[in-house]
Structure 1
Amino acid sequence: MQKETGLLQKKRVWIYAFLFTLTLINYVDRVSLSVASKALKDEFDISPVAMGYLFSSFVWLYFIALIPMGYLVGRFGPKKVNGYGIGVWSVATACTALSTGFISLLSCRLIMGMGEATTYPAGARVIREWMPLRERGMATAVFHSGSLVGPAVGAIGFGWLITAFGWRIAFVVAAALGFVWLAAWLKWYAHPSKAPWLGSEERKEIGQDATAAQRGKPAAAALGLSGLARSRSMWAIALSHGCAVYATYFFLTWLPSYLQAEKGLTVMSSGIYTAIPYLGAAILAIIIGRISDKVMRPEAAATGQRRLVVASVLLASSVIFLVPMLESTWAILFVITVSLATCASAVSLNLSLVNDLVRAEDDVGTAAGFITAVGNLFGLLAPIVTGYVVAGSGRFAMAFVVVGVLLVVGAMLSMFCTRRPIGDSASMAAVGG
């Protein structure tokens, strides 16, 4: 038997590169305002309350646009929709450099959020089109890991640009990265059936797992948003996703404050210590995604068995319960790294689970938009709830408990409520659809 060619020798490795750099640029642009906040406060005399609104404004249109963008991905395909998305958010990032005060900054962030709403629905559809079913766990982990590397790269790179050239030039450089990515995307991306640079053997390999898993079954008709919303599995995945995203937003927004307030770290030290778990989590999340693919046969994945891996990593992430009991900063960082990595794995594996269970390819973008929207609703609540908990108790201990409880709840939802395929007539009949 001929030995299987390694992934790095496959042409689709370039699709992995597209997916990783897409989310990396996405999160570099998201963190840019935080890094530039001091310079913006000094130049425009922006109050802390107004700056808080600027920080949150990105999510406003992002949250609203996620499901519509998922529909557009299903209607027009990921190449066109994702191209418009990164084009719009890169223009908004560039225009930030021309801002003259709060209103113009707010407008740019709102438009940027709307543009970035294409990322996850389009990325999920790209994975569905390009990756053999046995690779989807790792592919989604690579895709999502850009969101872990992006904040670290953005904090360091953007900080250096602001120090060396000023905040306006920094936003121009950030926008330029998006335009370079867009040019490469428009030139080289295509559906695998139409990509001229893809060999026939690899093209056949890309589709063979899904074909084997679906052999003997008729092609599924698209359900649309209303049909997806009638599936118990869809809601269970979305709520489990929300529990994981709550934890990731908790880390993103409150980890530096926790390290400063309870561990006595300086602002600079807390930034470095915050970057360590993110970089470690990115590596571990890809490894976990690869392992999930190795232990998962295509036929098993198509029947929702990946839910067992999702439940396992969510339970592992609940190790965050231990943080209030630890004294050593390095021990705390180790636990946070494990929790963040397994939590990030749950986010990416839930996107893989959607790809496994959703029968109609045209529904994948809408389904990804749906669970991402629910996840971001939980994410919006995370910093607010944490603020009240910390204010009420005077410490972070109970905030870590809240996160741990949600992660356990998410694990139970994944284990027991995501068994049914989404789109089979029998499963839809079971929920009255």
Structure 2
Amino acid sequence: MPKRTWIAILIFTAVIINYVDRIALSIASKPIVEEFGFTPVQMGYLFSGFLWTYVICLIPIGLLVERVGAKRMVGGGIAIWSAATALTAATAGFASLLSARLAMGASEASTFPACGRIIRNWFPERERGLVTTLFNGGSSAGPALGALVTAGLVEAAGWRTTFVLLGLLGYVWLAAWWIWYAEPEEAKWLSSEERIKVLAERDGDRKAVNAEPVAPSSLRYLLSQTSVWGLVVTQACLVYTAYLFLTWLPTFLQSTRELSTLNTGYLTAVPYLITIVLSVAIAWSSDKILSSENIRSGARRYFIAAMAALSLLIVLAPSVGNLTELLVVLTLVLTGSTTGAGLNFTLASDLLRNPADVSRVIAITALGGNLFGLIAPIITGYVVAGTGGYDWAFMVAAALLLLGAISTLTMTRQPIEPEFTDRSSRQPSFQTQQAHP
């Protein structure tokens, strides 16, 4: 097993912890509602609260990654959000609970921009689809493990103790990260042979190992690129469904199937666990099927469109009577939305000709996705309260999934060239180039 696999495992587990902390409130919602008497609309705001600060902080953090460094950005983020998770146990009502979620969201914004840069630095071009999807697969593994662990802890120790223990988990990970992570050029535990392979193949045939790096492009320039907007719109449409499930799936199962908190945890975990396996298989296929030329031209968009189409099965969820059939539908919807979102991050890296732009474009893309993720639980709360069911809530998600499929097929057809071709002059260049200058 290549030693760079440990980097993939580290960032994968970081996202798992990220999402365990996100879904914990959803799993523990029943005793929290019983204690505080929150309405569905209030719970909708609490479910989405962490995303308010998350989206505000994404682009500033994306701009800081190149300056601060990925190691410190990821480590600092998990230290703060783990503290916020633990402090959730001390909340006394809506305002204090919302404050803890806001603090958690701001610090969690470090993960995707910084890890996007880590993947670009550490993995050959033909491995990025698998690694990025595995990394994003933490957004499935986290809810699955979070549902099981949180449900068991809530039943055994109460919801307040649960949040303290979840917060401590982040600091265990942080210790491992601080000891072992380094850039491939500096990692002492990496063999010379593997180091040469990583440095030679991480940008395909576009860059020599010792080539002078190009300065990051400005936000103005990146936002002028149609392909960047295609990535943003696609991510927004896919993430809406992912967050609808992340925040409302436990409540949906409890209210429509009359399940206990523990059984809800088990049944919520099933679709997420199966999704991880399916997502990795699909991403591996995209790496193997696509040639290096296909990858650089953005052909991964066809896989993304197929995943959005698969998620359209969400319209069947409210009408499926058998619990097993419902779990199949939910699994396929989750597979489509989460795999599509992961491959969309990979597509961003595929299209970018300048590695220094990766963290910025990942941040912009994640911002678009999480803006829609932010409104998903709120809109769902209002729709459920107004209609007394989930049919129209799932129809809204389906309409956005269709838009996402169209967007990736029509708007991500051009590579994203670097704005600056000379680090010393920093003069803008808008010319389309097929090779690194």
Give the TM-score normalised by structure 2: 0.88
User: For the residues of structure 1 that align with 2:254 and 2:28, how far apart are their CA atoms?
Assistant: 20
Identical-residue share of aligned pairs (%): 44
Q: Is the aligned partner of 1:59 residue 2:51?
A: yes
Deviates more, 1:170-179 or 1:218-227: 218-227
Q: Is the aligned partner of 1:371 residue 2:365?
A: yes
The alpha-carbon distance between structure 1 residues 265 and 109, as it changes in their structure 2 partners (threshold 3 A), is closer
User: For the residues of structure 2 that align with 1:240 and 1:393, how far apart are their CA atoms?
Assistant: 28
User: For the residues of structure 2 that align with 1:405 and 1:41, how far apart are their CA atoms?
Assistant: 31
Cα deviation 1:144-197 (Å, max 9, x = unaligned): 111112122222212333333344432232122111111111111111011000
Which segments of structure 1 move beyond 6 Å, counting only runs of 4 or more?
none
The alpha-carbon distance between structure 1 residues 204 and 75, as it changes in their structure 2 partners (threshold 3 A), is same
Q: In structure 1, the residue corresponding to 2:85 is in which secondary structure?
A: helix
Correspondence for 1:6: none
Deviation at 1:260, TM superposition (A): 4.6
Q: Give the AA of the match of 2:296.
A: A
Q: Is the aligned partner of 1:241 residue 2:235?
A: yes
Q: Does structure 2 conserve the Cα–Cα contact (< 8 Å) formed by 1:311 and 1:410?
A: yes
The alpha-carbon distance between structure 1 residues 318 and 270, as it changes in their structure 2 partners (threshold 3 A), is same
Q: Of 367, 380, 384, which aligns to 1:386?
A: 380
Q: In structure 2, the residue corresponding to 1:73 is in which secondary structure?
A: helix
Correspondence for 2:249: 255
User: For the residues of structure 1 that align with 2:138 and 2:411, how far apart are their CA atoms?
Assistant: 29
Q: Give the AA of the match of 1:109.
A: R
Q: Is the aligned partner of 1:288 residue 2:282?
A: yes
Deviates more, 1:342-351 or 1:100-109: 100-109
Deviation at 1:420, TM superposition (A): 0.9
Cα deviation 1:306-365 (Å, max 9, x = unaligned): 112212222222233444564433223212211211211111001111111122222211
Deviates more, 1:33-42 or 1:357-366: 33-42
User: For the residues of structure 2 that align with 1:171 and 1:112, how far apart are their CA atoms?
Assistant: 12
User: For the residues of structure 2 that align with 1:397 and 1:170, how far apart are their CA atoms?
Assistant: 33
Q: Of 119, 125, 134, which aligns to 1:133?
A: 125
The alpha-carbon distance between structure 1 residues 381 and 106, as it changes in their structure 2 partners (threshold 3 A), is closer
Q: Counterparts of 1:6-405 in structure 2 under 5 Å?
A: 9-41=1-33, 45=36, 47-48=38-39, 50-215=42-207, 220-262=214-256, 268-323=262-317, 326-390=320-384, 395-405=389-399
Alignment RMSD (CA, Å): 2.7
Unaligned runs of 5+ in 2: 420-427, 433-437
Deviation at 1:408, TM superposition (A): 2.1
User: For the residues of structure 1 that align with 2:356 and 2:255, how far apart are their CA atoms?
Assistant: 48
User: For the residues of structure 2 that align with 1:350 and 1:319, how far apart are their CA atoms?
Assistant: 20
Give the TM-score normalised by structure 1: 0.88
Q: Does structure 1 conserve the Cα–Cα contact (< 8 Å) formed by 2:47 and 2:247?
A: no
Unaligned runs of 5+ in 1: 1-8
User: For the residues of structure 1 that align with 2:384 and 2:155, how far apart are their CA atoms?
Assistant: 33
Deviation at 1:42, TM superposition (A): 5.6
Deviation at 1:112, TM superposition (A): 1.2
Q: In structure 2, the residue corresponding to 1:196 is in which secondary structure?
A: coil
Deviation at 1:58, TM superposition (A): 1.3
User: For the residues of structure 2 that align with 1:333 and 1:271, how far apart are their CA atoms?
Assistant: 13
User: For the residues of structure 1 that align with 2:328 and 2:156, how far apart are their CA atoms?
Assistant: 33
Q: In structure 2, the residue corresponding to 1:97 is in which secondary structure?
A: helix
How many residue pairs get aligned? The number is 421
Q: Give the AA of the match of 1:305.
A: A
Cα deviation 1:32-90 (Å, max 9, x = unaligned): 233344554566x4533655443332112111101111111122221011111111112
The alpha-carbon distance between structure 1 residues 354 and 336, as it changes in their structure 2 partners (threshold 3 A), is same
User: For the residues of structure 2 that align with 1:266 and 1:392, how far apart are their CA atoms?
Assistant: 25
Q: Does structure 1 conserve the Cα–Cα contact (< 8 Å) formed by 2:26 and 2:248?
A: no
Q: Does structure 1 conserve the Cα–Cα contact (< 8 Å) formed by 2:302 and 2:409?
A: yes
User: For the residues of structure 2 that align with 1:33 and 1:261, how far apart are their CA atoms?
Assistant: 17
The alpha-carbon distance between structure 1 residues 427 and 235, as it changes in their structure 2 partners (threshold 3 A), is farther
Correspondence for 1:5: none
User: For the residues of structure 2 that align with 1:41 and 1:10, how far apart are their CA atoms?
Assistant: 48
Q: Does structure 2 conserve the Cα–Cα contact (< 8 Å) formed by 1:74 and 1:364?
A: no
Deviation at 1:200, TM superposition (A): 1.2
Correspondence for 2:410: 416
Q: Give the AA of the match of 2:226.
A: R
